[in-house]
Amino acid sequence: MRIGILRETRDHETRVAGTPETVKKYVTAGHEVLVEPGAGLAAHFTDEAYTAAGAKLAASAQCLDAELILKVRAPSPEEISKIKSGTVVVGMLDPFDSEGINALNAAGITAFALEAAPRITRAQSLDVLSSQANLAGYKAVLLAAHYYGRMFPMMMTAAGTLKAARAVVLGAGVAGLQAIATAKRLGAVVEASDVRPAAKEQIESLGGKFIDVPFETDEEREIAKGVGGYARPMPASWMARQAVLVAERCKQADIVITTALIPGRPAPTLVSAETVFGMKPGSVIVDLAVERGGNCPLSVKGEVVEHHGVKLVGLTNLPGMVATDASALYSRNLMDFLKLIIDKDAKLAINHEDEIVQACLMCANGEVKRKN
């Protein structure tokens, strides 16, 4: 099969959907791989590395003419206009963007959005949300360290002792747990909160202290379990009690990393403006949820702003800041997914019975299939 790997067109997207490593495997499996010149440059993969792996360099129009197109983000309207009906596109296509999915469908594209894969054991190797969130959690802490005017670890020096930074991590999913681990490794004292009761043990196993917001009703306890591993919006009563505790912990903190998300909904507000004004000057908040509206109403998408001496880091696409590793993991995720839609003769053979395929399929044959 002919596979096209394009240079991403979205602003500030540095990742690429195929690396020389995965390209080599596709070629060995019998595929013809077309790579747009410069596709991997922002992730430090040269055109020569792709050709050495067996790819052919081809203009974007030719890559878009392939039977299977691998993307990081959804194709632009201009790209969509050049993709012929029946082409398969696989990428992080944003399953909740109904307009975007409708545009792919109108062009007759068979589109798979890997963010929609179920959180089951078999899907772990193709779980793009996890592979990218893990890097985002790490990078969030490094950004915090960069914008923080002090040190993370406790240091005893001849000129006196420096206190360890206190970090609060809100949301302990994949990104949050990596943020806890990274902040600990840098020497911070870490506390963390999550609505899911299972998070307590995970936070503690990384050396963090669990910020416990006890449940007061069966309804709260039931909703907190979430669905399919994801959180659900908690009742206002629980959120109010959490806000009080978070405000208290944030007042003591130097670093706050927020990662709380609820699929298909705006991010919950966890750090109010009032809480920010109660924090110490010099503290840093990194809001990883900023693309979904933010966990703090004062964070601004794509910017670093300051209020009352507190820096709010709203930079986006943190995995793109470690583009080489992010592309390597993402490309392997894609390669694993392709095993479900390509047979051993390198021909398209979509297994529609497979629950992962069913969940990721957004549209095919002019019909929108997504279930969100």
Q: Which residue has the tokens 């206009």?
A: 81
CB 139 within 8 A of CB 322: yes
Decide whether 105 or 130 has the Cβ nearer to ligand NAD.
130
Catalytic pick among 26, 50, 60, 130: 130
State how far the Cα of 273 lies from the Cα of 154, in Å rounded to an integer: 29
**Which residue is at the shortest CB distance from ligand NAD?**
173
Residue 218 contacts residue 185 (beta carbons within 8 Å): no
List the beta bridge partners of residue 258.
170, 287
79 or 127, CB closer to ligand NAD? Answer: 127
Active site residue 26: no
Residue of the chain from 129, 141, 329, 341 that contacts ligand NAD (CB under 6 A): 129
* Dist CA 181 CA 289 (whole Å): 19
Residue placing its CB nearer to ligand NAD in the complex, 55 or 172: 172
- Verify binding: residue 230, ligand NAD, rule CB under 6 A: yes
Is 202 an active-site residue?
Answer: no
* Closest CA relative to residue 282, chosen from 253, 255, 310: 310
Binding residues for ligand NAD, rule CB under 6 A, total 32
The minimum distance between CB 130 and ligand NAD, in angstroms, equals 4
Q: Which is nearer to ligand NAD, 108 or 197 (CB)?
A: 197
- Side chain identity, residue 236: A
**Burial (0-12, 13-18, 19+ Cβ within 10 Å), 275:** buried
Of 30, 229, 281, 302, the one binding ligand NAD (CB under 6 A) is: 229
d(CA 323, CA 12): 11
Q: Does residue 196 interact with ligand NAD by CB under 6 A?
A: yes
137 binds ligand NAD (CB under 6 A): no
Q: Per-residue string for binding with ligand NAD, 251-290, x by CB under 6 A?
A: --------xxxxx----x-x--------------------
Cβ nearer to ligand NAD, comparing 175 with 328:
175
Amino acid identity at 193: S
| Contact with ligand NAD (CB under 6 A) among 35, 72, 143, 195 | 195
| Distance between start and end Cα atoms, the chain | 30
DSSP state letter for 17? S
* Residue 303 structure tokens: 């910017």
Q: Single out the segment in contact with ligand NAD by CB under 6 A; choices: 34-42, 103-111, 140-148, 171-179.
A: 171-179
Question: Is 119 a catalytic site residue?
Answer: yes
Choose, by CB under 6 A, the member of 60, 87, 132, 193 that binds ligand NAD: 193
Spot the catalytic one: 119, 122, 221, 265.
119
Smallest distance, Å, CB 226 to ligand NAD? 6
CB distance 262 to 268 below 8 Å = yes
Q: Is 327 a catalytic residue?
A: no
Going by the DSSP 8-state scheme, the letter that residue 208 receives in this structure is P
Sheet of strand 209-210, all strands in order from the earlier edge strand to the far edge: 209-210, 189-193, 166-170, 255-258, 284-287, 310-313, 304-307
Q: Which two tokens stand for residue 35?
A: 């790579």
Phi, psi for 354 (deg, rounded to 5): -75, 130
Write out the binding residues for ligand NAD, residues 64-123 only, by CB under 6 A: 119-121, 123
Q: Rule CB under 6 A: which residues touch ligand NAD?
A: 119-121, 123-124, 127, 129-130, 133, 170-176, 193-196, 199, 229-231, 234, 259-263, 268, 270
**Which positions are catalytic?**
119, 124, 127, 130, 230
